[in-house]
Structure 1
Amino acid sequence: MSRIFICLYLDEDVNVLVADLLHARGFDVITTRDAGQLHATDAEQLAYAISQARTLVTHNRTDFEELIQKYFDLGQTHYGVIFAVRRSPQEIAQRLLAILNQITSDEMQNQVRYI
């Protein structure tokens, strides 16, 4: 599946206002609440993002770095993970916009970014 624009999946630790701010700019963003994935495990969150060809955005660097390493070790594909330091929703949205406006969905595949 080839798309130009990255579609995001925000895990439940990321403020839903980030999704609203990005939606207002025309980007495809869903949250765990939107997807009915509240309280899913980290592995389930990543699997869901992959099943939907979405880049996962999370604050949970420790657990997801370990999961992503397993994907790399097994040669499995994912659609990218963005680790966001806890900041205001507006600042996180601005940092995500920099990625969304410069990187294609194909370029984000199997990539990890830190914002």
Structure 2
Amino acid sequence: MAICSYLNFLQNDLPELLEDVPLSDVQNMWFKNYGCPAHYIRPIREYLNEEYPERWIGRLGPVLWPPRSPDLNLLDFFYWGRLKDRVYTKPISTLDELRHRSTQAAKIFGKLWLW
């Protein structure tokens, strides 16, 4: 069920991904939620309102992001494409391998991005 998977991601995986981000950055972070129907149902919005009060952008959120918006950001065009190119250089057989490759690619590409 996509709804449970997305809520599970927000509650469990996202905090783990943000562990190395300084607390002051996390506290000032904005969350950008896209218009996928599973991303704007009530349980998701309630969770985002609790975790990111008045700091999330999305359909029916405090800052509206219209569904199917043509406004794409730089990450939509460049970063994710480059990251996927590095991760999928050869077939992936396990979830752990996917996580490892994604983490390594983000570290390598993040350094290049900041440079």
Output the TM-score relative to the length of structure 2.
Answer: 0.31
The structure with the greater share of residues assigned to strand is 1
The structure with the greater share of residues assigned to helix is 2
Q: Which has the larger radius of gyration?
A: 2
